[in-house]
Chains A and B, each alone.
Chain A
Amino acid sequence: MITELEMGKGESELELGLGLSLGGGTPAKIGKSGGGGAWGERGRLLTAKDFPSVGSKRAADSGSHAGASPPRSSQVVGWPPIGSHRMNSLVNNQATRSAREEEEAGKKKVKDDESKDVTKKVNGKVQVGFIKVNMDGVAIGRKVDLNAHSYYENLAQTLEDMFFRTNPGTIGLTGQFTKPLRLLDGSSEFVLTYEDKEGDWMLVGDVPWRMFITSVKRLRVMKTSEANGLAVRHQERNERHRNQPV
């Protein structure tokens, strides 16, 4: 039997101590942080960005533009240069538009009922609340509030805090003594995946954030070895989507 713990955003105190322990000296007090902590050194969960995607992120890698295929703007971070508020609004519009189109076409998803407790419509916009998170090898699932996050890095950090790190000197949920888990250089043991409204399991990170939160049903921290099949499917699905008119 799996008991689920309601979990809020997780630690909101930014742990400056870790970063500045080398030099000593008192770090400036910054109070509560908005939720994002330091990524990188502490390790991170792999998302779709880490898998080779169609079209390289940097055409200049090959040394010249001539031979390389230029990056499609939808795959490049921060391009086109639209502020995040505006980007969220655009993606939301798209999601609302396709939701409206689906309703008009008379398609009623079977899983609508299941998604009702997760999403609620406010002024025509779909809002997401708490969703379940499970991790391979961990008996106890958690819940995370997607509303409290605005970027993938935020979410990944929260989940790491949840599953890999609690108070210093205690055993975390994974049964390991807490220490920074190195998940760098593509050799991470775990990868973050989600189940979308159509029941497919996808890699987290390949669609714009707002699109993700309107389609995510639940999250799973999966062993990388099991996730290999997903990358391929993601590309196929991407191809499918690209051919569909918006």
Chain B
Amino acid sequence: MNLRLPSKVLEHIISFIDSNEDRNSVSLVCKSWFETERKTRKRVFVGNCYAITPAAVARRFPEMRSLTLKGKPHFADYNLVPDGWGGYAWPWIEAMAKKSPSLEEIRLKRMVVTDECLELIAASFKDFKVLVLTSCEGFSTDGIAAIAATCRNLRVLELRECIVEDLGGDWLSYFPETSTSLVSLDFSCLDSEVKLSDLERLVSRSPDLKSLKLNPAVTVDGLESLLRRAPQLTELGTGSFSAELKPEAFSKLSEAFTNCKQLKCLSGLWDVLPEYLPALYSVCPGLTSLNLSYATVRMPDLVELLRRCSKLQKLWVMDLIEDKGLETVASCCKELRELRVFPSVPDLDATNVALTEQGLVFVSQGCPKLESVLYFCVQFTNAALITIARNRPNIKCFRLCVIEPFAPDYKTNEPLDKGFKAIAERCKYLQRLSVSGLLTDKAFKYIAKHAKKVRMLSVAFAGDSDLMLHHLLSGCESLKKLEIRDCPFGDTALLENASKLETMRSLWLSSCFVSFGACKLLSQKMPRLNVEVIDEHPPETRPESSPVERIYIYRTVAGPRLDMPEFVWTIHKNPEIGVSHLAIK
């Protein structure tokens, strides 16, 4: 019997599917489902901007309204990817300007975005609504001004931790008086002061404004004035609170906060003086997300604040909270789902020792919904990891950074193998894992076997031999992104598990012992992978067996990229020609 749904019906059904993972599955069923799905996909996500060409994306998804792109590898966040590596937004913007003029939303992460890109966006997409740039660089406030000035229906403009050439605060004044559509504005990463009166007017004429994240140049007085004009805010990033506290200003500020009855998320708070914190008490009971990771206040003041936050789901804080503070969190914040604890000083020698593994154990005991952890700590124990795993098998994201490289369990002097084994075994929904401390190859055997749902794994200063990589690449069924630095394996495991790499988005290896010869061989064996050697020294000046500095391997249907800088080497697909910057013309 030939059962075929009329395409209109199929289209209608598929239009209810939001998840791109599901849509990808749908598109594999048969040709007609592929066609119907692609014609109805509105939100397109490309996890690696070099995996496919912009033209191919535009061609496949004619109804695209939202495009999300990621560029540089994650370790670029830690300065491991040299400037100029790539991740340019321009080819994408240029292609979409021509082929997808109905595009309304662009979200870019770790990409190089120039003022020309921003100007082209402003000029090309008539109904442009959303621009979110995360960890991007290459543009100036002039480009932002172009977006502000031209995009009449702009709803969202967010610059999250970007490196921006700051030419002053004028860009804000480019929002025309007729612009009233703003829902979210985040300029927290900019340095320059914007004119407060311009900002006040913009906020006053934006009734839909729900999220406002200010930069440190906005003062307490400025904040108070803005809150008065936007009591409907649900998300607020404050300016800085480091000015001297004046009693009048304080009571005005408290009152302004009291009137923000819908505030759910609070961030910013750079250098906040503890005297200001009581002004926030009125919003604490309603907060679901609190980012104190730039607030240099000490434990007692933090505790006073946090014990009022009974609905808190997400907490980012510095290690100044200490074990004691986390104990309070464990008893007061029963809704907590995500905890991130960052170091308060950049180097090991002066780290806050009042934060230990015990803090995390407390939270794992007291917060039944805890599922996402990022924890920086000087040292750790297997016992703590095992306890955490037993308490919280529902953990989905576990990133532990033991700051001292190769640090063993400080009580038993053993490697942390057993601890991470417990995490991998018990947390069956674990999707993201970062390991640290002293780890042998065994740890990776356990992880490979048990962490069936882990999609992203980060490893540093760990393992003994090729076995560790072999375990990971032959196990870890769901692995999509693997990033490794400073581990002592060589070529064997990589070459033996080459086929695994096509099932992953990307693999980053730096300061390991993989040789140039292996990269060449891998590249020759696997035509659908780009094997990029990122090395200061031209590979041909050294023997093929010598290790290379960094390797970035990713699957792609776009072939080798054409925009590589001089320090990126890909192996020419034709072995007789040898090494060149371009694999194929």
Contacts and interface: CB of A to CB of B under 8 A. Distances in A.
Contacts of A91: 346
A76 interface: yes
A39 B116 contact: no
Contacts of A81: 77-78, 401, 458, 460
B116 A31 contact: yes
B139 interface: yes
A209 to B, nearest CB: 9
B75 interface: yes
B563 A16 contact: yes
B246 interface: no
A221 to B, nearest CB: 20
Interface stretch (A104-112, A147-155, A189-197): A147-155
Interface stretch (B36-44, B84-92, B445-453, B514-522): B84-92
B486 interface: yes
Contacts of B511: 58
Interface stretch (A17-25, A131-139, A223-231): A17-25
Interface stretch (A64-72, A160-168, A171-179): A64-72
Given A19-B581, A36-B83, A93 B163 contact: no
Interface stretch (B59-67, B144-152, B225-233, B337-345): B337-345
A238 to B, nearest CB: 11
Interface in B487-542: 487-488, 511, 535-538
Given A23-B581, A31-B117, A122-B217, A83 B77 contact: yes
A246 B350 contact: yes
B174 interface: no
Interface residues of B, number: 75
A152 B511 CA distance: 20
A74 B345 CA distance: 11
Contacts of A169: none
B565 interface: yes
A78 B79 contact: yes
B566 A40 contact: yes
A154 B138 CA distance: 12
Most buried by A among B79, B166, B406, B537: B79
Interface string A196-229: 0000000000001000000000000000000000
Interface residues of A, number: 73
Given A77-B79, A84-B77, A123 B240 contact: yes
A42 interface: yes
Interface in B155-183: 161, 163, 165-166
B177 to A, nearest CB: 29
A87 B348 CA distance: 13
Nearest to B119: A31
A115 B363 CA distance: 47
Interface string B259-288: 000000000001100000000000000000
A151 B78 CA distance: 11
A28 B83 CA distance: 17
10 contacts: A32-B114, A39-B83, A59-B461, A71-B405, A72-B348, A77-B80, A80-B401, A81-B458, A83-B77, A148-B165
Going nearest first, the 5 A-B pairs with the smallest beta carbon separation are A36-B83, A23-B582, A78-B78, A74-B347, A40-B567
